[in-house]
Chain A
Amino acid sequence: MPEYKRSNMIADKPSGYCPGCLHSLATRLISDVICELGQEDNSLNVISVGCSALNILYWGGDFLSVAHGRAPAAATGVKRTNPERLVFAYQGDGDLAAIGLAEIMSAANRGENFTVIFANNQTYGMTGGQMAPTTLIGQKTTTTVYGRDPATTGYPLKMCELISQLEAPRFVARYALNTPKGVREARAGIKKAFETQMKGEGFTFVELLTNCPTNWKLSPLDTLEYMNTNTIPYFKPGVYKDVTTKEAE
């Protein structure tokens, strides 16, 4: 039976996230997996900019806070000089897929032996809900008030599909956190990514479809249904690449 208690890697104070935000759940899943793998002291969280940066307030393990979009570059410097550490970056969609596109693609292409966890909620939450690179066609934001128009803003970037085309990455997968099934699969995916890194096999990438009740202007419950009808049909969950060493059954 799972234990329902605060995870060990998260400080004993209230979450800084809005009510119903799945960032909290994503952070908790990462924390649980680190504890399960016995990596509490050995793990290092490279914290990016955006709502993900709220982890500064309550992440209980070693962390390095870095510039917007540069987490995969900073993590490269961390991991190359301290290869024994379990290193992961936690990035949102604006951070990873807009300002940090060069850094994520290049780190993935070099096969850096760390894990990037990508929280995709299709908006810039921290700055008040502007269009993100992953904002869906027709989605209203504060900079696309009539809905995203591909004629002037292009199309939502599918990062798993892009990164899985590269030679070096070992594990690339997308999960949706709006159902218990999706949460369980995401937890297993994060664990697989971390284990792959601990074996020294190379770059691993886990995309988590999350929500933003505040900026989507929906109740938390409605965001979960919105994800079913809008987000998931475009950003299809699944394992996009898996060239990890298979455990002996």
Chain B
Amino acid sequence: MSEKRFMKGNEAIAEAAVRGGCRFFAGYPITPQNEIPEYLSWRLPEVGGAFVQGESEIASVNMVYGAAAMGTRAMTSSSGPGISLKAEGISYLAAAGLPALIVNISRGGPGLGSIQPAQSDYLQATKALGHGGFHAMVFAPNSAQEAVDIIYDAWEYAERDRNPVMVLMDGCLGNIMEEVELPPMKELNDEDVPYWSLSRRNGRDFQGNITPIYTEAILEGVNIMAGEMYKDWQENDVKVEEFMVDDAEYVIVAYGIASRVSKEAVLTLRSEGFKVGLIRPITLFPFPKKSIRNLDYNRVKGIIDVEMTIPAQMREDIELQVMERCPVYEYGRSGGVLLDDDGVLEAVRDFMTGGTDNA
């Protein structure tokens, strides 16, 4: 049975995880994601799961590594500084072929940065979640409802690929309250415990092992298979929203909270007669390359990358698809200072009326 509730983004994430089958969480306190561990500390025991407040982000992600190896749907959450500490464990998850969900409710950076919302971790999430040259699917929902829907199915991707999945949101989306429709609880039984796991609940009667270290010939094979998997993602798993793009002369590209402010700007500018559209990546990795590459550049006069971080981090991914067929502009606020409608509107108007490529 699905049900409607009015929930804070972080709490909606936590409840969606439980309904998606999560039975283990370990994490370390950090703002602005604290409602996730707080909620799961009482919610997981209600459904027979386990919650551990780790001594650090490093320990927490390694607890998740242990639980995931047993075939348990496991997750951790943090914010930028903590995700840096989890980088070690995320790399090991990828190496060992272990599914897990990592949630980043991001804030201003670098360093301790600020505790206010910012989209400062795009490059970390999409290019290098840890050492060794691997990727995870990175989802960037822009509402509590979309976060619920993505997290509910996060382990379907993670178990399919035997790879960690990241959900990247910012402190705004983690802390706003919105109506959400919660899906029914997934019922997972012993026979659903993955065959490769070290659990014996699935009836396995032979020795099993899981390791993040290989001999060189096997590791090269592991690397090649990962590369093929990333290509499959690009073909099959891209999620993107295109809004009023068909006749657009200027296209904003924005994800997460920035896409919500940008959509308001598109509607306002349309009411003024400007042909503006929005491309919203929902998966940041795989990046929706085709949506940008296949625009009609006889019509499109400019692309505007709007992000709540300075300098813009998605810009190079956009430029690789634009291939210098039109100017690419960027606009953002940073450090925990929020984007607002007027700022985005003013910037877009400026670019449309003689602005120059501000690379």
Contact = CB atoms under 8 A, between A and B. Distances in A.
Nearest to B65: A74
Interface stretch (A28-36, A62-70, A175-183, A220-228): A62-70
A106 B200 contact: no
B213 A81 contact: no
A195 interface: no
Contacts of B183: none
Contacts of A157: none
B70 A67 contact: no
Given A56-B213, A65-B209, A77 B62 contact: yes
A208 interface: no
Interface stretch (A40-48, A148-156, A198-206): A40-48
B105 interface: no
Given A41-B205, A80-B24, A64 B55 contact: no
A44 B198 contact: yes
B69 A73 contact: no
Nearest to A76: B63
Interface string B29-65: 0000000000000000000001010111011101111
A44 B210 CA distance: 11
Given A73-B54, A77-B63, A106-B59, A64 B198 contact: yes
B59 A67 contact: no
A56 B70 CA distance: 18
A102 B52 CA distance: 15
A237 interface: no
Interface residues of B, number: 38
Contact of A81 (B58, B72, B207): B72
A60 interface: yes
A74 B66 contact: yes
A44 B198 CA distance: 8
A198 to B, nearest CB: 16
Contact of B62 (A59, A60, A70): A70
A56 B209 contact: yes
Contact of A80 (B59, B60, B65, B67): B67
Contact of A67 (B23, B68, B207, B212): B212
A70 B58 contact: yes
Interface in B249-270: none
A62 B204 CA distance: 11
Nearest to B26: A77
Given A44-B198, A61-B207, A103 B69 contact: no
Interface in B189-242: 198-201, 205, 207-213
Q: Which of B55, B60, B212 has the largest count of A CB atoms less than 10 A from its CB?
A: B55
A85 B200 CA distance: 9
A66 B65 contact: yes
A56 B215 CA distance: 11
A82 interface: yes
B66 A78 contact: yes
A81 B24 contact: yes
B62 A62 contact: no
B89 interface: yes
Contacts of A44: 198
A193 interface: no
A77 B200 contact: no
5 A-B pairs with least C-beta separation = A77-B66, A77-B67, A74-B66, A73-B62, A65-B211
Interface of B: 23-24, 26, 50, 52, 54-56, 58-60, 62-70, 72, 74, 88-89, 92, 96, 198-201, 205, 207-213
Interface of A: 41-42, 44, 46-47, 53, 56, 59-67, 70, 73-82, 85, 102-103, 105-106, 110
5 contacts: A64-B210, A65-B212, A66-B65, A67-B62, A73-B59
